[in-house]
Chains A and B, each alone.
Chain A
């Protein structure tokens, strides 16, 4: 299995642990994901809020560079932008023409884009994942947090049920964790306002952390660099302001799957987590 990997800017910085754990898991499972050479930023929220044509042109340039291979993505925001570009370019000839004029090449909007969760379930297969698990995450109660951009809007991303996605739940269950159902799977954490409007992030993230705690979770699993950063980095300040105690380590799903596959903690970037998972993992006898 081979894919053209689009890591995205966050995975080179704040989410380096997402990159490290994804690579470790892919290597372990024999999934080949060489990076697209000289990829550039997808434009993220800044582009679609400021320049609609640029917000399609930047993803299109990267998708062309994948030379027809399925593009593998981890960041939910990149995933959303790449999928949106494909949707708009393939469904409107005028948009396709405009994008071609900007990037200097015709792109048909047909290069497939797959999130790493989709690759694991739809292409690698749950049965094979379960087979590869050597250290099941026994006794670890976890909630899957998908955030906004993986499953919305459904007609564009076609990821999973937009109100009750299950892909991450199924991967973590295959990894041996006790996955708890909860109502905040796709609530928004405040996303990109982490710098410009922190009050929004703190309010929304507090609701998510509170619900995870109330559901009885030991930890939260995420698939988006901004979700992880907001829930982890802001957790202390939110606790201080509200007087609540969450103590919820916020993992990337790839870190949890990696532990179940027998990969060492240090090869999964766990030391980057601000709410330390050490005590929790030690108490459950998970990971070395």
Chain B
């Protein structure tokens, strides 16, 4: 007779126990999303604009976090395709802040170096924030050039540039707000401290 405490099923359930508790509590502590209250009603996914293309839909992502599936969650394409439109959080009958949860997952996925390899969103975000730190404001033409250079997507969408220049939608010269040294310190302090921890 096999030992029921040592069956493969039992092992599957028991081995990751600590790990999954650690992962889901970290997500909860950092996001305050309240996802343990999820009832799997799928209202979030029904209204989600990117659900049709997602590898894991919003309600599936929540369930995977509850089950501690750290790698699957942090490698997910969905966390980089979420448009942060907040429809999910607005409609959730249990008040789960799925959008806040996704912000936390993006951070954790970058920290763990598991971010979906084809996404260029992190590069874009870094360039965007650098522009604010340097100039105080976002300089769109410089932002686009830096992004194209870093991602080597040199010719994607370049046909839009002449039209945008004709329509004066791209400012040729950047504006710089005084106080760069202070901004640098502000960015450094923000990076060092967490919001609540």
- A contacts, CB < 8 Å to B: 9, 12-16, 38-41, 43-54, 56-58, 61, 88, 92, 94-95, 98, 101-104, 148-149, 152-154, 162, 186-188, 190-193, 195-198, 200, 203-204, 229, 233, 271-274
**CB < 8 Å neighbour of A152 from B85, B169, B193, B194:** B85
Residues of B within 8 A of A9 (CB): 137-138, 140
Contacting pair B138 A187 (CB below 8 A)? no
Contact A44 B167 (CB under 8 A): no
B171 contacts A38, CB within 8 Å?
no
Q: Which of B53, B86, B121, B187 contacts A153 (CB 8 A)?
A: B86
When distances are taken between beta carbons in the complex, the residues of chain B under 8 Å from A16 are: 168-169, 171
CA distance A254 to B77 in the complex (A): 38
Tell me, yes or no, whether B129 is within 8 Å of chain A by CB: yes
Measured CA separation A186–B83 after assembly (Å): 13
Instruction: List 3 A-B pairs, minimum CB-CB distance, nearest first.
Output: A46-B128, A188-B85, A148-B85
Q: How far is the CA of A57 from the CA of B129 in the complex (A)?
A: 13
Question: Is B84 a contact partner of A45 (Cβ separation < 8 A)?
Answer: yes
Contacting pair A274 B196 (CB below 8 A): no
Q: Is the CB of B81 within 8 A of A101?
A: no
Contact B186 A152 (CB under 8 A): no
Q: Which residue of A lies closest to B30 (CB)?
A: A52
Report Cα–Cα, A148/B140, bound state, in Å: 22
Assess whether B177 is in contact with A50, with CB atoms less than 8 Å apart: no
Least Cβ–Cβ distance between B43 and chain A, in angstroms: 12
Q: Is the CB of B125 within 8 A of A46?
A: yes
B144 touches A195 (CB 8 A): yes
Given contacts A102-B193, A152-B86, A272-B168, 8 further A-B contacts (CB under 8 A): A15-B169, A38-B177, A40-B183, A44-B138, A46-B124, A46-B125, A54-B187, A197-B121
Number of A-B contacts (CB under 8 A): 169
Interface residues of chain B, those whose CB is within 8 Å of chain A, are 49-50, 53, 81, 83-87, 89-90, 97, 99, 103-104, 106-107, 119-122, 124-126, 128-129, 131-132, 136-141, 144, 147, 156-157, 160, 163-164, 167-171, 175, 177-179, 183, 186-187, 189-191, 193-196
Contacts of A103 in B (CB 8 A): 186
Q: With A13-B169, A53-B190, A197-B81 known to touch, is A94 a contact of B196 (CB < 8 Å)? A: yes
Q: Shortest CB–CB separation between residue A8 and chain B, in angstroms?
A: 9
Q: Are B137 and A40 in contact (CB under 8 A)?
A: yes
Complex CA distance for A40 and B178, rounded to whole angstroms: 10
* CB pair A49 B103 closer than 8 Å: yes
Tell me the complex Cα distance, A9–B147, Å. 18
In the complex, the chain A residue whose C-beta lies closest to that of B95 is A155
Q: A12-B137, A103-B186, A154-B90 are in contact. Are A58 and B83 (CB under 8 A)?
A: no
Complex A-B: 18 CB contacts under 8 Å? A9-B137, A14-B170, A38-B178, A46-B126, A53-B194, A88-B195, A95-B195, A98-B193, A102-B189, A152-B87, A153-B90, A191-B84, A192-B83, A193-B121, A195-B124, A196-B119, A273-B167, A274-B167
Contacts of B157 in A (CB 8 A): 195, 198
Q: Tell me the complex Cα distance, A98–B194, Å.
A: 8
CA distance A198 to B49 in the complex (A): 14
Closest chain-B Cβ to A78's Cβ sits at a distance in Å of: 11
Tell me whether B167 and A271 are in contact (CB under 8 A): yes
Rounded to whole angstroms, the CA-CA distance of A162 and B160 in the bound complex is 33
Taking CB as reference atom, which chain A residue is nearest B127?
A: A46
| A41 engages B132 (CB within 8 Å) | yes
Q: Which of A14, A104, A191, A197 contacts B169 (CB 8 A)?
A: A14
When distances are taken between beta carbons in the complex, the residues of chain B under 8 Å from A39 are 177
Residues on B with beta carbons closer than 8 Å to the beta carbon of A94? 196
* CB atoms of A52 and B195 under 8 A apart: yes
Cβ contact within 8 Å between B83 and A49: no
From known contacts A16-B169, A98-B196, infer whether A41 and B87 are also in contact, taking CB-CB under 8 Å. Answer: no
Q: Inside 8 A of B189's CB, which chain A residues have their CB?
A: 101-102
